[in-house]
Amino acid sequence: MAVLSSEAVVLRTWPVHEADLIVSFFTRDYGRIKGVAKWALKSRKRFGGALEPMTVARAWYAERPRAELVRLDQLEIIRSPLSGPVDMARMAVLSFYAEVLDECLPEHDPHETVFRLLLSVLEQTAAVSPEAGHSGAVQPQASQPWMALTYFSLWITRLMGLLPDVGHCMACQQELRAGEVSFSAYADGLFCGLHRNQSGNALSADSWELAQRMLRAPASAFAGEAWPRRRGQDLRRFTLQALERHMERRLRTAEALGRLGG
Ligand SMILES: [Zn+2]
């Protein structure tokens, strides 16, 4: 029985038997894996806080012949979501990443680009705004996680092959113009002013331009900008619709984010 090791991010856990946990985790080298963490509920010292969703860790696990679940032996924390500032918005955003990835990623199928996306948005979700960091005696104020959420939503939609052309109207193929762009709950693409659906929603000029910039630049490039929670909200809704249409169900964590105004 070979023991495998990979950098990994914990997505979700649920109890099984009286003391074990099933863990869904996304490994860099082998893709998403499901395993059993034996005695994880009884013996805290074995896994410590490493089973907290969105923990980045080095994982050791063994594949078992004819068994669907691997045996998760050890997780060594590289970065814990609990080491940064923790608040309702940030926890809701982390839960959203976990649910989307747990739903979208096929098992045993490595996806390096998604892994790198996840690491970069986790860093940005925990980031403290730069101006607050230099404020000396003033308590550093953590920046809100809305930029990271917007970046993740856009890119995971693209990497799952669900993002339509954001530059052209899906009805007439004409180039779109800022301020005249809309989307509909019943179609995959964006529409020009002429082909706007009656039940369509406007995609603001800022959001449309953001989408194009975000598809060309790393998440860190947007960290210095002001990110009130309303910024990019329509763009997040557009990508969420694409994700939910693909999954054919509503995302539980998106409802929680909606209640926070995200
Ligand atoms: Zn058109």
Q: What percent of the chain has pLDDT over 70?
A: 94
Ligand 1: distance of its center to the CA of 174 in Å?
6
Report the amino acid identity of residue 27: T
Give the pLDDT confidence score for residue 160 in this predicted structure: 96
Give the pLDDT confidence score for residue 139 in this predicted structure: 42
Give the pLDDT confidence score for residue 130 in this predicted structure: 53
Structure confidence by residue, pLDDT tens digits, 4-21: 999 999 999 999 988 999
Ligand 1: distance of its center to the CA of 187 in Å?
13
Residue stretches of the chain with pLDDT short of 50: 132-140
The two beta strands, 31-37 and 70-79, are parallel
In angstroms, rounded to a whole number, what is the distance separating the alpha carbons of residues 74 and 60? 5
In angstroms, rounded to a whole number, what is the distance separating the alpha carbons of residues 136 and 158? 40
Ligand 1: distance of its center to the CA of 165 in Å?
13
Ligand 1: distance of its center to the CA of 168 in Å?
8
Residues with CB under 5 A from ligand 1 (ion): 169, 171-172, 192, 195
Identify the bridge partners of residue 37 per DSSP, sorted by sequence position: 21
Ligand 1: distance of its center to the CA of 166 in Å?
12
Ligand 1: distance of its center to the CA of 181 in Å?
9
Give the pLDDT confidence score for residue 137 in this predicted structure: 42
Ligand 1: distance of its center to the CA of 196 in Å?
8
Q: Which long-range contacts (C-beta less than 8 Å, at least 24 apart) are formed by 155-160? A: 155/117, 155/214, 155/215, 156/100, 156/101, 156/104, 156/114, 156/117, 156/239, 156/243, 157/239, 157/242, 157/243, 158/215, 159/111, 159/113, 159/114, 159/117, 160/104, 160/243, 160/246
Give the pLDDT confidence score for residue 141 in this predicted structure: 52
Ligand 1: distance of its center to the CA of 172 in Å?
4
Ligand 1: distance of its center to the CA of 162 in Å?
20
Q: Which residue has the tokens 């109890």?
A: 15
Ligand 1: distance of its center to the CA of 191 in Å?
5
HSE-up of 112 (CA within 13 Å, CB side)?
1
Give the pLDDT confidence score for residue 2 in this predicted structure: 84
In angstroms, rounded to a whole number, what is the distance separating the alpha carbons of residues 22 and 10? 11
Give the pLDDT confidence score for residue 250 in this predicted structure: 94
Q: In angstroms, what CA-CA distances link 111 with 4, 6, 10, 52, 150?
A: 17, 13, 15, 22, 20
Give the pLDDT confidence score for residue 133 in this predicted structure: 45
* CA dihedral (171, 176, 180, 242) positive or negative: positive
